[in-house]
Structure 1
């Protein structure tokens, strides 16, 4: 049977009718605005599987997962991917970026808090003067995901289940795949570059950001330029 939407009042114009439809879709679970994760999200799916188990969204507790690791290891990429994967399960959600830089001042913290509340509330002009510090402000079933370089920030609090997920470097297969995606046009590796590729991957030490930057920088360059860049 077809479904019908009942509105509070009958729209007088076509533009009003269209606007009501847009609002209904925007407020429904069918509406998604996924975050950009990565052009080549190598190794992300396997790491998401572990995170999904820790998040256990069927559980009714309030749970925080810390995605920890050194800079460039892919914490934000993984956080965006898991957000896209599970956000539709929640009525209210928010993704805040560059928190470390933006929270260096009191005003920056206030703006972050206002952005958070604005994202999870229909009131888009919320203003606050204090920060949320207590765990009892979160509804049952809430999930908080935080990326951090420091595990010490994952402080356990009453009423909050805290878990740490330490991101591991890409293994050799994953590192090679990611590097080739960025370093070679059409992902085509020439045999003359094989040893140089191995050296570049060794330098990157499994860090996705390093592999991406090095690959993009070397892409399209001659073998001699590769040797100069890698001090071969």
Structure 2
């Protein structure tokens, strides 16, 4: 089973938010692994920031040295049950860097790890001593839930309109139960219910899904149907502004409204809203790496 795009991070965040709302733990932290795809390593900046975040989230203290982190982490182990979520672990060293003493954590503590690599859990289990551990495989969605998820994003309803039911079922079946694929395709087809869209865009989506067995390739279709302004912004987010605050990007796009060389970014707020409503601004790096090379 392809463990990519099945919703591991979404599930981990939901558990974390639920625990926060119910105040099950006094001390909690959620960390996303910042993956450098050029060499499949964790960026050094992430390493430093992650330890600082852990200490701040758990104890509200600032770290100055690595030795400080180890002593403060030992202190956190005595403060009562903690919840630590590590999303996207792909090397055992990342776990040990953040949690040097798993077996010393206070009774009742919980550590949640998501990973595409099942062997990570075996390695962690072998080094965690008597810590109780459970492995859960995140399954793809079944037909019923797949239909509901797609229809909510495409039609804002649990069922597709009768005229689109067969096309919707073809797309859902071809998405193979992957939540992100269902969300992106559904969002991309939202409000495309004119006769010309039903005759052209929807069948095109079905063909794109059927012709490629690679979900990453298939999802690029949702980029191809963007307007030119949205494509400009999408490439900018991927290559220049990923991880940066919106206030840094908007002046740049504003200055391009009347730019003849790049075609400009028209209807800035509308285009940006469309990117988010189609889930593209959220999954930009995972899906396309750098679409500038695709659109050049």
Aligned ranges 1:90-129 → 2 under 5 Å: 90-97=25-32, 99-101=33-35, 104-123=42-61, 125-129=62-66
Deviation at 1:151, TM superposition (A): 1.2
Partner Cα distance (1:183, 1:197) in 2: 9
Report how many aligned residue pairs link the two structures.
163
CA distance in 2, matches of 1:144, 1:94: 10
More helix by share: 2
Q: How far apart, CA to CA, are the structure 1 residues paired with 2:134 and 2:180?
A: 25
- SS of the residue corresponding to residue 145 of structure 2 reads helix
Report the Cα distance in structure 2 between the residues aligned to 1:106 and 1:137, rounded to whole angstroms.
Answer: 26
SS of the counterpart of 1:166?
coil
Using the alignment, how far apart are the partners of 1:70 and 1:111 within structure 2? 27
**Structure 2 residue 188 is matched with structure 1 residue 217:** yes
Q: CA deviation at 1:215?
A: 0.4
CA distance in 1, matches of 2:49, 2:172: 40
Task: Give, in angstroms, the shift of residue 107 of structure 1.
Answer: 3.7
Deviates more, 1:108-117 or 1:134-143: 134-143
Range 100-109 or range 221-230, more displaced: 100-109
- Deviations for 1:153-198, whole angstroms, at most 9, x for unmatched residues? 1121213222111011111110000000001145562212111111
Please list the CA deviations of residues 115-150 of structure 1 after superposition, one character each: whole Å capped at 9, or x if unmatched. 111100122x22342544232442221100011111
CA separation in 2, counterparts of 1:175 and 1:186? 13
**Is 1:80 aligned to residue 13 of structure 2?**
yes
Structure-2 separation of matches of 1:100 and 1:137: 26
Of 204-213 and 180-189, the range deviating more from structure 2? 180-189
Change (3 A) 1:211 1:228: same
Give the distance between the partners of 1:167 and 1:179, measured in 2 at CA. 19
Q: Could you tell me which residue of structure 1 aligns to residue 288 of structure 2?
A: none
2:78 paired residue number? none
How many Å separate the matches in 2 of 1:128 and 1:74?
35
Once residues 104 and 43 of structure 2 are traced to their aligned partners in structure 1, the CA distance between those partners, rounded to angstroms, is 23
**Paired residues of 2:141 and 2:177 also in contact (CA < 8 A):** yes
Look up the match of 2:3: 70
Residue 69 to residue 153, structure 1, CA distance change in 2 (3 Å): farther
TM-score normalised to structure 2 length: 0.51
Q: Tell me if 1:228 matches 2:209.
A: no
Task: Return the alpha-carbon distance in structure 2 between the equivalents of residues 85 and 205 of structure 1.
Answer: 28
1:34-49 alignment runs, 5 A limit:
none
What value does the CA root-mean-square deviation take over the aligned residues? 2.3
In structure 2, the partner of 1:168 is 139
SS in 2 for 1:200: helix
Question: How far apart are the structure 2 equivalents of 1:94 and 1:188?
Answer: 38
